[in-house]
Amino acid sequence: MQYKPIKAIFPGSFDPITNGHLDVIKRGVKLFDRVIVAVGQNPLKDELFTSEQRVAMIRDLVADMPRVSVEGYDCLTVEFARQVKADVMLRGLRNLTDVQYEFQLAMTNRSVAGIETVFIMTSEEFGFVNSTMVREVALLGGDVSKLIPVSVYEEVKKRVAERRGT
């Protein structure tokens, strides 16, 4: 039997990418031959950055990870998984609330598209961090510098200043 490299997609809006997301990427690349960070669009969210901006920021962050690539998409995640011929979907879990939601999503994705989901528990220090919370805290003037990569923090500060007109 010949070995088949395993390709995973790690989908999300990543608006902005957090240290928790990077933790999952770094740990995921130890498990899979290739990880595609799949940057999606969520029309229900008030996005801080465009899809193109998020892709560029993440590409800079993973530039030293040769088996990680970053691609934007604007279709159903399972359709994108088919397009890139992904074997599995990689998802991070932070808490029990995530488990229930992600379990339902994983079962639906397997039923609809036949794609398996592999979960990685985030490291303890990132168990409370999510992009929505980072956006909200930043927009309200709070310090999110410990929650996101330094380069992303600089971009968040610029974007918040633009939105405030300062």
26 is catalytic: no
**From the CB of residue 114, how many other CB atoms can be counted at a distance below 10 Å?**
10
Catalytic, out of 7, 13, 54, 131: 131
Q: Which residues pair with 72 in a beta bridge?
A: 39
Alpha-carbon 93 to chain mean position:
12
State how far the Cα of 134 lies from the Cα of 38, in Å rounded to an integer: 20
Tokens of 105: 């999503």
Catalytic, out of 21, 34, 135, 159: 21
Q: Which residues pair with 144 in a beta bridge?
A: none
159 is catalytic: no
Contact (CB, 8 A) for 106 and 117: yes
45 is catalytic: yes
Catalytic, out of 7, 34, 91, 94: 94
94 is catalytic: yes
Catalytic, out of 45, 157, 158, 163: 45
State the catalytic residues. 21, 45, 94, 131
